[in-house]
């Protein structure tokens, strides 16, 4: 039940703005990229990210770890340092290796990929388990000579590695010795900025308002959005008039869009995860039963059905692990954009992202499926939509 992920429509400029609206069942959609960051807390996990390198190889004995390191394509000097068992420490069922900054900075991309992939399997390795992930185009647009001089940019790129078609960076702790304080702050700001989009619906004279309401008016929202859409369609401007997509979203989603949980009550900040967000998308008041995984599963099984074709507004996109466990859930908007809250993390805002960027953020070394589900059509919903 996995699905391929098509690229969003429209022509994108280097700034992330679409030259022309992307047209489809949703109407004419304009997108502009807005990297979202919280300036009040731009480096939230500073302490753990800046700790000296410490690699915990869980479930290893000295012989198996030695064999693994020998197969990582290390230089003689790197292998000599990392294989020196006199410096190894046993912690529980794992072995701790503390590499020098020189080794960390000089690892090849291939060696880094292999070693960090192994480290990512164990929670003790925070940086490798939660690296910064970017699609190639996103990485190239964020980190340029405008942020870093050419030589330092090359050094920074050399610290990156690939994992499941994404570019990853984990070694924040070595950056202070490489960069000036201003350069360091610039890189950190780019690392933590969430790839987020502002979407606008462009309404043209004599547009088919019924079609637009049929798409955007789900969840009994059609009666509320129809007046503004009809008004815009009556304007005598051949270029059309744009409307921020937030005006078309239900109140729960609209009020939270582009905000951080800490801006809400402490209770909301602690409970706001992707499943609670997605299952409450159309609800007038949030239902806290969706904080319970069992209730989410029960609701999906009884009230939703799997979509095997192209998703539409309001469909739920779910990432499922190999054991059927839900890893992430978000709401499809239009043109391959999704409304998402990436995890129960108070530092993760509610944003609109490209589906590809969202999937990149939840890449896993384990096999995962992307499953799309849609609420079963009920007579009450059909009646509401039929009146518009």
pLDDT tens readout for residues 57-105: 998 899 999 999 999 999 999 999 999 999 999 988 889 999 999 999 9
Whole-angstrom distance, CA of residue 333 vs CA of residue 324: 25
Q: How many CA atoms lie within 13 A of 227 on its CB side?
A: 2
Strand ranges (E), the chain: 22-24, 27-33, 55-58, 89-91, 94-97, 132-134, 161-163, 166-169, 197-203, 241-244, 304-306, 316-320, 326-334, 337-341, 350-354, 369-375
Q: What would the mean pLDDT of 4-20 be, rounded to a whole number?
A: 41
Averaged pLDDT score across all residues of the chain:
86
Q: DSSP 3-state helix, strand, coil percentages of the chain (rounded to 5)?
A: 40, 20, 40
Give pLDDT tens digits for 26-56.
999 999 988 776 655 567 788 999 999 999 9
Confidence class for position 384, pLDDT limits 50, 70, 90: very low
Cβ proximity of 185 and 359 under 8 Å? no
Largest CA distance in the chain: 80
8 Å CB contact between 133 and 167: yes
Residues paired with 334 in a beta bridge: 337
What's the pLDDT at 43? Answer: 77
Task: Please report where in the chains the tokens 């609209």 appear, as a residue.
Answer: 254
Token reading at 375: 């609420």
Average the pLDDT over 136-151 and give the result.
85
Determine how β-strand 27-33 pairs with β-strand 197-203: antiparallel
Segment 302-328 shows an average pLDDT of 92
| DSSP, res 130 | S
**3-state SS assignment for residue 160:** coil
Q: What is the pLDDT of residue 269?
A: 60
Q: For residues 245-274, give the mean pLDDT.
A: 84
Per mean pLDDT, which range of 106-120, 161-175, 259-273, 309-323 is the poorest?
Answer: 259-273
Structure tokens at 21: 């609206």
- CA separation for the pair 273, 290 (Å, rounded): 10
Q: What pLDDT sits at residue 381? A: 36
Q: What is the pTM of this model?
A: 0.71
pLDDT recorded at residue 11: 40
Q: Are 218 and 226 in contact (CB under 8 A)?
A: no
Both tokens assigned to 75: 């230089």
Q: How far apart are CA 331 and CA 329, in angstroms?
A: 7
| Nearest CA among 282, 283, 368 for reference residue 319 | 368
Spatial separation of the C-alpha atoms in residues 362 and 355, rounded to whole Å: 11
Supply the pLDDT for residue 388.
33
Chain segment 186-239, per-residue pLDDT in tens: 898 888 877 789 999 999 998 999 999 999 998 778 899 999 999 999 999 999
């Amino acid at each position: 039940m996995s699905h391929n992920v098509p690229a969003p429509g429209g022509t994108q400029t280097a700034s992330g703005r679409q030259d022309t609206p992307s047209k489809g069942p949703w109407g004419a959609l304009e997108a502009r990229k807005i990297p979202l960051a919280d300036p009040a807390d731009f480096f939230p996990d500073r302490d753990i990210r800046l700790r000296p390198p410490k690699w915990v190889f869980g479930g290893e004995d000295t012989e198996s770890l030695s064999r693994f390191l020998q197969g990582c394509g290390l230089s003689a000097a790197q292998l000599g340092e990392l294989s020196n068992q006199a410096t190894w420490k046993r912690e529980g069922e794992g072995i701790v290796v503390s590499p020098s900054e020189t080794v960390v900075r000089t690892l090849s991309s291939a060696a880094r990929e292999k070693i960090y992939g192994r480290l990512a399997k164990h929670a003790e390795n925070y940086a490798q388990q939660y690296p910064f992930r970017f699609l190639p185009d996103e990485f190239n647009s964020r980190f340029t000579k405008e942020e870093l001089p050419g030589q330092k940019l090359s050094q920074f790129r050399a610290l990156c590695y690939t994992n499941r078609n994404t570019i990853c960076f984990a070694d924040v702790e070595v950056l202070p010795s490489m960069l000036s304080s201003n350069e360091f702050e610039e890189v950190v700001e780019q690392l933590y900025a969430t790839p987020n989009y502002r979407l606008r619906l462009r309404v043209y004279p004599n547009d088919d308002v019924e079609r637009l309401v049929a798409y955007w008016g789900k969840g009994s929202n059609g009666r509320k959005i129809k007046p503004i859409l009809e008004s815009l369609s009556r304007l005598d401007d051949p270029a059309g008039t744009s409307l921020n997509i937030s005006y078309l979203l239900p109140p729960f989603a609209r009020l939270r869009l582009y905000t951080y949980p800490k801006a809400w009550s402490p209770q909301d900040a602690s409970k706001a995860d992707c499943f609670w967000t997605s299952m409450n998308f159309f609800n007038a008041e949030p239902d806290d039963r969706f904080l319970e995984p069992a209730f989410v599963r029960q609701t999906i099984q009884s009230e939703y059905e799997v979509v095997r074709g192209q998703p539409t507004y309001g469909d739920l996109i779910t990432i499922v692990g190999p054991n059927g466990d839900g890893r992430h859930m978000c709401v499809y908007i239009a043109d391959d954009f999704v409304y998402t809250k990436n995890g129960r993390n108070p530092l993760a805002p509610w944003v609109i992202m490209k589906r590809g960027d969202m999937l990149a953020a939840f890449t896993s070394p384990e096999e995962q499926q992307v499953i799309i589900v849609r609420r079963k059509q009920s007579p009450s919903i059909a009646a509401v939509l039929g009146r518009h």
